[in-house]
Amino acid sequence: MVAKTTDEHFAEYSSNTRIKHEILKRYLKAYLTALSRTVDAIHYIDGFAGRGTYADTTPGSPILALNLLGQQQQPYCASFVEAQSADADDLRSAVAALAAEGPQLEPPLVLTGEFADHIDALLTRPALRPFARVATFAFVDPCRVKGVKVKGIQKILAMPYGECLIFWNYDGVNRWLGAIAAGRSSGKGLKDLFGDTTVLRQAIELAETVDAPAAKERGLLSLMLKVLQDQSDARYVLPFRFDARDANRTSHYLIHCSRHALAFKFMKQVMSSLTSSDEPGRFEFLREVDVANQADLFVPASDVVAAEQVLEVLRDGPRPVKLFYEDWVRRPSDFFTQSDYRRLLLTMEERQQIEVLDSDGTTSLPRNKRRQIKGQATLADRLWIRRF
């Protein structure tokens, strides 16, 4: 499959792009709300910004972000980078046509060139120097594989409240690894992505030795997530899978990287609200025809495994429901949301694996004595649970 040109990419607003932008919008809104009383200013960065709109005039990520930034109260500025000069010119025209809204520090900055070459300048914008606590959010969304360097991601995450939402082109990475193995391409660009030669060699070995597509994908995804954790200092990494429109295979992942548990919790809620999968802890967007044929690409915490973990921790005695709603959802390796744990615990109660206790941690509180919503018992975080 030949990679799309930027003209082809912006000619159509695909369903994959719509979901990607919905994740960005929902999370950015939560990010801005959560930090409204914590930081002094907001800096939004779009590293592969495009031309501002699609052919049908649908707003692109820069316009979507500016609209959200204009609705909040903190001082802010936006920085956009686009490699294609014609697209950068279109973007300048698009953002110039917008009326400045909210406490914008200065007009949006649009730079032409490679994102990696501009990161240092973006992170030291003069307009932000008067503010001690600046929250930096970067949307890193290249059309192709090239252009993303893990060292640049590390610089962004090193900023106070720094976060990244990264487009990882798995299909392109897979094809590029094949070209390297066949001697048709060098690995310089992939070395930048994977951080060093050692990791690149591991990726090449995976591509050459693992025949099963799902197993190879699991291996490469795990490798990429480990790179982001080890080399960019991302404590929390959360992938959302997209399938290709022309085949039942993976196109790309959108990966959220952060160093804060609350950010991880919020993004899980956003991704869970948009996933096509009915398996808890699994985030992906599939075409309708593929939903019944999902490949087992990575193994999230299933209900069975999660229930075993709950029962294991209850061996030492009752535990508050809040432990699962607040603490467990912030564990870096746990992809369950608070809603997933609520559903799981209620199911375990129904199966008589656990008993629900009142807020004193000792008095039994059966389903018929608790608050009901639409005929279903609730499970408040003030309650406790214990093994039967």
- Label residue 4 by pLDDT band (50, 70, 90): low
pLDDT of 8 strictly over 70: no
Is residue 253 exposed (0-12), middle (13-18) or buried (19+ Cβ within 10 Å)?
buried
Residue 2 above 70 pLDDT?
Answer: no
Residue 61: per-residue pLDDT = 95
Backbone angles phi, psi at 46, to 5 degrees: -120, 110
Q: Are residues 74 and 223 in the same domain?
A: yes
* Same domain flag for 177 and 134: yes
Considering only residues 236 and 294, tell me which one the structure prediction assigns the higher pLDDT. 236
**How far from the centroid of its chain's Cα atoms is residue 125's Cα?**
26
Answer with the one of 229, 259, 293 that is the final residue of a domain. Answer: 293
Nearest to 328 by CA among 336, 316, 318: 336
Do 324 and 377 share a domain, yes or no?
A: yes
User: Could you tell me how many residues make up the chain?
Assistant: 388
Domain shared by 335 and 277, yes or no: no
- 114 in the same domain as 260: yes
Look at residue 1 and tell me if it is in a domain: no
Q: For the ranges 50-54, 85-89, 125-129, 363-367, which has the lowest average pLDDT?
A: 50-54
Closest CA to 52 of 93, 14, 15, 21: 93
Q: What is the dihedral of CA 58, 63, 65, 69, to 10 degrees?
A: -130
Per-residue pLDDT band at 298 (split at 50, 70, 90) = very low
Same-domain pairing of 198 and 274: yes
Longest CA pairwise span in the chain (Å):
69
Decide if pLDDT at 75 tops 50. Answer: yes
In the 8-state DSSP scheme, what is residue 132?
S
Average pLDDT, integer, range 120-148: 91
Specify the pLDDT at position 10.
Answer: 66
**pLDDT (0 to 100) of residue 295:** 42
DSSP secondary structure code for residue 231 in this structure: H
Cβ(55)–Cβ(14) under 8 Å?
A: no
DSSP states along 282-336:
--EE--GGGGGG----S----HHHHHHHHHHHGGGS-EEHHIIIIIGGGSTT---
Q: Specify whether 262 is located in the same domain as 354.
A: no
Looking at the structure of the chain, the number of domains it has is: 2
Contacts of residue 35, Cβ cutoff 8 Å, sequence gap at least 6: 42, 74, 135, 161
- 33-to-50, 199, 388 alpha-carbon distances in Å: 26, 37, 41
Residue type, 307: A
Please check whether residue 298 lies inside any domain of the structure: no
At how many degrees (to 10) do helices 213-231 and 170-181 cross? 100
Q: Which of 254, 269, 293 is the last residue of a domain?
A: 293
- Domain holding 103, by residue range, is 6-293
The CA-based dihedral angle spanning residues 154, 157, 163, 166, taken in that order and rounded to the nearest 10 degrees? 0
How high is the pLDDT of residue 161?
Answer: 94
CB distance 107 to 94 below 8 Å? no
Residue 57: both structure tokens together:
């005039």
Q: Is 191 inside any structural domain? A: yes
**Inter-residue contact 268 to 335 (CB < 8 Å):** yes
| Together in a domain, 104 and 179 | yes
